[in-house]
Amino acid sequence: MTVMCDPELKVIDPFEAPYLFYSKPENELMSLVAQRTGHRLRGSLVATVRNAYDAACLIAEHGYDVGLAHHIEEMLRKSGDYSSWKRAMPNKTPPAIRIYKKQYDKRIDAEVTNEIDACGASIPVGQYLFHGGHWPASMMTMDTKRPLSSSFLPEVAFQNAIHNGKSYHSRRIDLWVMHFLEPGIKAYVFNGRGALANEKEVLLAAGIRLTLTSHKRIKADYPVGLDETTTMNVPVNVLNVEVSRISE
C-alpha cells in the first residue's frame, strides 16, 4: 500500500457558537399550530451547551436531541476545516476499512489499522470526539487492541453504546468525551456519503492509550433492552478520557 503524507488537520470546535437547549412548550395545541405554520415555539431555556462535555451531559440526560445534532452538523458543514479533514482521505475507501464499516469484523482489525496508518491523518492536539461503550470499572488506563470508532456527534456515540444489547449486557451506558493530548494519533475520517453518512464517524487506529480522568453519573434509570419484552433500566455516565500515544 502506498503511504500518503500525513496532512496537518486543524482543531474543529462545533461549540464555538453555543447551542441553546429549550424545554418543549407546555401548550401542545400551540406547539402543533406553530409547527404547521412554520413558526418556532420554544419553552424555557434549560441549558447552554458551550463545549463537548456539556453536549455529552445533555445527551446522557435526554438520550437524543434533534436540535443539538442539527447544530453540530451545521457547524461542521460551515467549517472549512471539516471539509479539509475529509479531503485528506483517499478518494476511495480502502477495502478493509470499507468492510469494517459495514460488519465490524474482528478478523481484519490488523488490516484496518494498517490502512489507517497508511492513508489516514493525525488528529490535531486539543480535538474532542465522542465514543459510547463500557469502561471497565477497575481500570484507569487502557491500551487499545482494536480500531476504535468515534464521532463528532454525542448522540451517535450514545446510540452505539446501546446497539445490539451492549448496554443491556454491561448494565450501564458510558459516554466518553475524548480529548486528544498528543500528535501522531492516526484516524480515518469517513466522507459523509452512503447509508451511515449522518454518523460523522472518525475511526481511530489501534494502539492508543486511554486515560480516565473523571466520571459522573448523569441518569440512574435509562431504559434499554434486547427486545420489546426483555428490558431493564441502567445508569448513564459521562466520562472524560484523555487520548495519547503508547510510550515505547
Per-residue pLDDT of the chain (248 residues), as tens digits, is 444 556 779 999 999 999 999 987 665 555 555 555 555 567 789 999 999 999 999 999 999 899 999 999 999 999 889 999 999 999 999 999 999 988 878 899 999 999 999 999 999 999 999 999 899 988 999 999 999 999 999 999 999 999 888 888 889 999 999 999 999 999 999 986 654 567 899 999 999 999 999 999 999 999 998 877 788 999 999 999 999 998 76
Question: Would you state the pLDDT for residue 178?
Answer: 98
Distances (CA, A) of 11 to 36, 81, 128: 39, 8, 8
Domain of residue 98 covers: 19-245
Minimal CA–CA distance to 56: which of 126, 160, 135, 132?
132
CA 81 to CA 231: how far, in whole Å?
A: 42
In a domain, 5, yes or no: no
| Residue 127 in domain | yes
Q: Can you say whether residue 176 is alpha, beta or left, with left for phi > 0 and alpha for psi between -120 and 50 degrees?
A: beta
Residue 30 lies in a domain: yes
The pTM of the full predicted model, rounded to 2 decimals, is 0.89
Q: What pLDDT does residue 68 have?
A: 96
On whether residue 3 sits in a domain, the answer given is no
Collapse the DSSP code of 133 into the 3-class scheme (helix H, G, I; strand E, B; otherwise coil) and give the result: strand
How far lies 228's CA from each of 41, 224, 232, in Å?
Answer: 34, 9, 11
**Residue 88 near residue 7, CB atoms below 8 Å:** yes
In-domain check, residue 238: yes
Q: What is the pLDDT of residue 3?
A: 46
Whichever domain contains 156, its CATH number is 3.90.176
Domain-embedded: residue 7 = no
Single-letter code of the amino acid located at 145: K
**Bridge partners, 204 (sequence order):** 148, 187
Sign of CA dihedral 17, 39, 200, 65: positive
Q: Is the dihedral of CA 72, 76, 79, 85 positive or negative?
A: positive
Asked whether residue 139 is assigned to any structural domain, the reply reads: yes
Q: What is the pLDDT of residue 5?
A: 52
Q: How far is Cα 67 from Cα 47, in angstroms, rounded to an integer?
A: 12
pLDDT value, residue 85: 95
Report the alpha-carbon distance of residue 200 to residue 75 in Å, rounded: 12
Please report the pLDDT score of residue 1 as a whole number. 47
The SS3 call for residue 31 is helix
Question: Residue 212: what pLDDT?
Answer: 97
Please tell me the predicted confidence (pLDDT) of residue 209: 97
Domain assignment present for residue 9? The answer is no
CB under 8 Å to 71, separation ≥6 — which residues?
A: 14, 19, 49
Q: Structurally, how many domains does the chain consist of?
A: 1
SS3 label, residue 206:
coil
Contact 17, 157 (CB under 8 A): no
